[in-house]
Structure formats: structure tokens, C-alpha cells
Structure 1
Amino acid sequence: MKNLERKTKILITMGPSVENKLKDAVKLIDGIRFNMSHTNVEYIKKYLNILEKNNIAKLMDLKGNKIRIKKTFKSVFKTGDELVIGRDIILTYHPKDETEEEHFILINDGRIKLKVKKVENDLIYTEVLVGGIIKEGMGVNLPDTHLKMPIISDEDINNIKFAVEHDFEYIALSFVRNKNDIINLRDILNRYDKNNATSIIAKIETKEGLKNIEEIAKYSDGIMVARGDLGVEIPIEYIPIEQKNIINITNKKGKLTITATQMLDSMVSNPYPTRAEITDIANAIFDGTDCLMLSNETAVGKYPIEAINVMDKVARISENNMEKFAVETHLDGSSISTGIAHATHTLYLKLNPKIIITPTWSGKSATLISKFKPKVPIIALTPNMKTFKKLKLVWGVVPYHVDEVNNMDNILEISNKIAESFIDKGIYITTLGHPMGEKKTNVIKVGVINDSCKRN
């Protein structure tokens, strides 16, 4: 059998550190994230050719309307001081209509903590619970407040148009609160993407997003566990629990899962990781994540390639122990596609096949089967290059580009040839669609490769 790549996928963030090492990086990774809070479309254009040439999945992470300190008239605040928002400091968005007494307001990743005493005459009066120095540009979180502000800015819309025009496979939306944020982005996407081919990744990084995780997972195409802002919005001791819950719910919906933030943070400045970071990576894999993401490690860190290699090695070892420690997934719903995925998994357990082959147009069937984390590769045959690159981020899936075929016999013949090229002998399972042209999966075929097949 061919020596196939690791099953857990690696997504890295583009930045100055990895720019000159991109030729080395693309040999090791599955996807590139462009963080629009720190880059622009002119920067992205410089790297599109090499990403296309290497079939790397592209993810645009929208900037979103994060609230920041716009202006300060006083910068040093001590515990017990009064701080008046609208007088002492000005924010990029003034939440006077949404903020209520007893709400908490956090500044600079939670290092400064305020408690609202009253809202009066368009001013928000707060007590400083934890003081510090406040500077312009610092981020502001309001974990108790339902904000009415739109989370997609005009700048985001221009970036969305660019992403569609340049065939980005994924767009990540920051600070998702509920399903309406996903529906709104989908409507904007549909203005430019008539084929509805761009997938939406919802970043869960607010308390409100956690509350609505079920509906967000249902309406999006995938979820990113964004542990940075999430660790500001909720007590950090709850992050492991919420991570497991988010991944579990998203996997049940049959959607992509990405775990992100500080996975190898020590490697921003050190050539070796900590033991805790190695354990964190392994646990994310055992939780059931499809994909692991590196942020500062590759964007601004001193050791981007070393960090990728560490993640690769840990993933491979963890995958070899999935049967001992991994969380078992049970898909929600009773659709034909879900039923086929369950049936494929049952056959996998009974027949011990060498590979699973899934001809697919949208990638859905391969993604659903991957949720059961089979030990064997899932070979996803697709004529759709956008689907090919989307599947680069799905656990255990090996995308394989083929010409479009609308005849079942031809599909089975192609599948048999693919099976022969991957295994010497043994059973393989093929899932495929019928009737022809509907681009749905509703048939399972068991095939066998033996010595006489290879001789013939």
C-alpha cells in the first residue's frame, strides 16, 4: 500500500516569517490562512501562483468589526478608579444602547477589567476592577453584552469580493454571534459567488457564540475554535471543556473543525516546543479536530518550518493511537448522505477494507465518512478543483482529481484502477451517486483487489 500523508491537516498563517520559506512550507502543509487584520489583497496576490501550483487550500480570515480604543484622554487607571467611556476613552463603537449595569468590559485581552455602574447621558460609567495603562488601538471585549453592530464591515465586503474572484476555498468570519451572522455572510457571498462554492468557517470567540453553537454549526460549513478572544470572554479554565464541546457538536453536524491559537506559541521565539504544547496538539486530535492551525508561529515567529514539522510529527503519532483515546462521533440527522456514511462505517468495521473511495462533487460524502475517523485513507475522487482543495483540510481525506463521469460503470472502473494503484490486495469500499447527474451519494459497492487482478 502507498505511504500516504498524515490524516490531521495543517493550516498555517501567512506572514513575514514564512514568506522566504514558502517553497519549503507548501511541501508540509494543507492550507494557508490570510489574516485580514494584518494584511491586504495586494500582499495576497504575490503568493497566489505558488499556492495554486501546489493545490494549497486558501482561507481568508475577515477582519470583522472588533471594538478598539479609538482615543484616550487619560491613560493610567488604578483599581477602584472611575472610568467613563465616552469621556475618558472613546471606542470605535459606542455600546451605550446595549450596555447595562453590572456588565463587564475587558480591555487589552482582559488585562484591564471594568464593571458598568450606570449608563447616563450617552456615557458609560464604570468601576475599574483591575487597572493598568490604556493605549489607543487596544482591543475591547464585552462578554455580557449583545451588540447590535454589524460584524461585517465595508472593508470586509471588498475582501470577500476579492476572495471569490481569486477562488478562495474558505472565508472565516470573526466574532460570530448566531445563525443570522452566517446567513448575512452567505447573502453577501451570493452576490459574487453564483455557484455558492465558497465555504464559511465560523470563528467561535464570544460568549454569545458559545451559547448558539448548535445553530451556528448547522448554518456554517465549519467551525474554528478561536481560543484567543474566547479566552478573554470566558474564564480560561473553561477553554478545554468548551473546545471539546464545540468540536463534538460540529462533528455531529458533519462539518469541518479547526483548532487554533497558541498551539506552539513558545516556538515563536524558541526552536523547541513545551511538553504542554505537544499534549495540547494531541488532545485536539483526540477531541476530533480535522485541522490544526498555526498563527504567530508561522506569521512572525523565528522558527516557522520547525513549528510545522513539530505539528506534523505529533499528529502522526497521535493518529496511530486514535482507537485508544479518540472521541467517537455519531452523526446527527437522517439524510441519505448521513445514512450512507453510517453504513460505510459499519462495513469498514466488519470488512476491514484497505481504503475507502468516495467519488464526490461537493465533498460532503467524504467529509461525513471522515467523521468516523477510519484508520484507512479516504480517497475522494472529484472533477471539481475547488472541492479538491477544500478537502485538503478534512481529516483523513486524500483528494484525487479526475475527469467528470456520469456513468456508474465508468465511475466503478475508475475506482477500481485507483484502488489497484493504492493497494496490492484486499477489500476496498466505494460510495457513489445514483441516478446519474444528481451529484448525491446513495450507493455503496464493495470491491476486491487480488493477485490475479494485478496480473491481469
Structure 2
Amino acid sequence: MKKTKIVCTIGPSSLSTGLLEEMHQAGMNGARINTAYGDLDQYKMVVNNVRDVADIPIIVDIKGPEIRLQVKRRKVVKKGETIEIGFNHEEISFNHSFYDEMCVGDYVYIDNGKIKTRVVEKVDGILRLSVMNDGEIDDGKGVNIPNKRLSVPSLSKKDLEVIKFAEEYDVEYIALSFTRNVQDVNNLKTEA
């Protein structure tokens, strides 16, 4: 038997016990729940269905310190354009406040790096960003700010609810996405 194990992310399209049984027979050694999507009722269904089918570990992957855009209206951006992103429910804003931690020259990658931007100016709580390639900015897209340690909370309210759920349903593992440092791990240990 191989040492490498297979962990499958279970969601709405793979939730049925019949399909889970087939996946287990094919070699699934663990089931992952991505809590960036869905709700507690869906997670309960995943745990119950997996446990009905197989005695394998379940991993709940909590979102962790994730930065996302809040966009009122989808926006197409072009290379060379300057856009403004704020922190207080502007047309485009971040879901966390870290304005004071940003510097001119910092890179801001949107939607898994599909759109690359660079801070060219900071004015009254707004970041002005130079767009480095064409793309489309939409609500909920993830943001990465490389080489920056931001004071974004490591656990969200939903993360705390999911941790409680994981304890209640005897989930074997909790995975912490976007872990930045030891303090993030300690924060999770305190709650779990």
C-alpha cells in the first residue's frame, strides 16, 4: 500500500452516500470540508454521510485570515488604469481594515493573482492602485498582499462557529488556511 493518502474535498456535487462509497472504494482516505463555502447544515450532512460510508478522518478547513473584496458592481479593469479601493463600504472595499499598514509600492493581487495591482497613492483611507493587467473585479474575490504581515484577525466569527461544530461532531482534524505565524496556530489551539 502506498504511503501517500488521498483526501477529497466534499461539497454539494459529491454529497450522496452512493458517490461517497464509490470514492472510498476508489481510494479516498480522508474527507475535507472547505468552509469557505456552504453552511453548518451542509457540513453536518457531509460528516453524517461520510461516517455512514467509511471510517476515515474528516478534515474541516476553516477560512482563516482571508482578505476579500466587497464590490457593489462588477468592474472591468484595464492595464495602466488607476482604481480606488477603500475600507469603509465604498464602491470597492476590503473586508478588513489595514490602511495604515499599507505603503506606496506594495503589491495587491486580486482573484488568486489574476489581477495584479500596485499601490501608487494613499489618500484619506483610500488606496489608489495601478492595474498591471486586464481583468474583472467582482464581489467576494480573494486578495493577496505579498510580503506583508497584516493585523487581520486569524479567526472569523464563522471560523469560531465551525470550530465548535468540529468539536461537537468529533471531527478529527482542523486545517487553518492562510496561516501566517505561530500566533495564528495558538489562537486556533485556544478555541479548539
Q: How far apart in 2 are the matches of 1:72 and 1:47?
A: 33
Task: Quote the sequence identity (%).
Answer: 34
Uncovered stretches (5+) of structure 1, i.e. residues with no partner: 190-456
Q: How far apart in 2 are the matches of 1:101 and 1:74?
A: 25
Which structure has more relative contact order (CA 8 Å, sep 6+)? It is 2
Kept after mapping to 1: 8 A contact 2:65/2:179: no
Matched letter for residue 107 of structure 1: I
Q: Deviations over 1:145-170 (max 9, x none)?
A: 22101021011101101101111110
Q: How far apart in 2 are the matches of 1:112 and 1:49?
A: 39
User: Whose helix proportion is higher, 1 or 2?
Assistant: 1
- The structure 1 residue matched to 2:153, chosen from 136, 139, 150, is 150
Alignment match, 2:140 = 137
- The structure 2 residue matched to 1:23, chosen from 9, 21, 24, is 21
Kept after mapping to 1: 8 A contact 2:63/2:178: no
Q: Do the aligned partners of residues 138 and 166 (structure 1) sit closer, same or farther apart at CA in structure 2, a change above 3 Å counting?
A: same
Alignment match, 1:244 = none
Q: How far apart in 2 are the matches of 1:170 and 1:76?
A: 40
Q: Do the aligned partners of residues 77 and 50 (structure 1) sit closer, same or farther apart at CA in structure 2, a change above 3 Å counting?
A: closer
Question: Alpha-carbon deviation of 1:67?
Answer: 1.6
Matches within 5 A, 1:306-321: none
TM-score by length of 2: 0.87
Alignment match, 2:31 = 32
Alignment match, 2:85 = 85
Kept after mapping to 2: 8 A contact 1:74/1:88: no
Q: How far apart in 1 are the matches of 2:98 and 2:36?
A: 22
User: Whose strand proportion is higher, 1 or 2?
Assistant: 2
Matched letter for residue 68 of structure 2: R
Q: Secondary structure at the match of 1:97?
A: helix
1:48 aligned to 2:47? Answer: yes
Matched letter for residue 102 of structure 1: G
Matches within 5 A, 1:52-201: 52-53=51-52, 54-72=54-72, 75-86=75-86, 89-189=92-192
1:13 aligned to 2:17? Answer: no
Uncovered stretches (5+) of structure 2, i.e. residues with no partner: none
RMSD: 1.9
Q: How far apart in 2 are the matches of 1:114 and 1:72?
A: 19
How many residues are paired up? 185
Question: Alpha-carbon deviation of 1:31?
Answer: 0.5
Question: Alpha-carbon deviation of 1:94?
Answer: 3.5
Kept after mapping to 1: 8 A contact 2:32/2:59: yes
Q: Deviations over 1:44-86 (max 9, x none)?
A: 3224345335211010000234222212467122211111112
Q: Secondary structure at the match of 1:46?
A: helix
Larger Rg: 1
Q: Do the aligned partners of residues 85 and 49 (structure 1) sit closer, same or farther apart at CA in structure 2, a change above 3 Å counting?
A: closer
Kept after mapping to 2: 8 A contact 1:70/1:89: yes
Matched letter for residue 41 of structure 2: E
Q: How far apart in 1 are the matches of 2:43 and 2:166?
A: 10
Q: How far apart in 2 are the matches of 1:51 and 1:77?
A: 43
Q: How far apart in 2 are the matches of 1:115 and 1:48?
A: 42
Q: How far apart in 2 are the matches of 1:63 and 1:100?
A: 26
Kept after mapping to 2: 8 A contact 1:85/1:125: yes
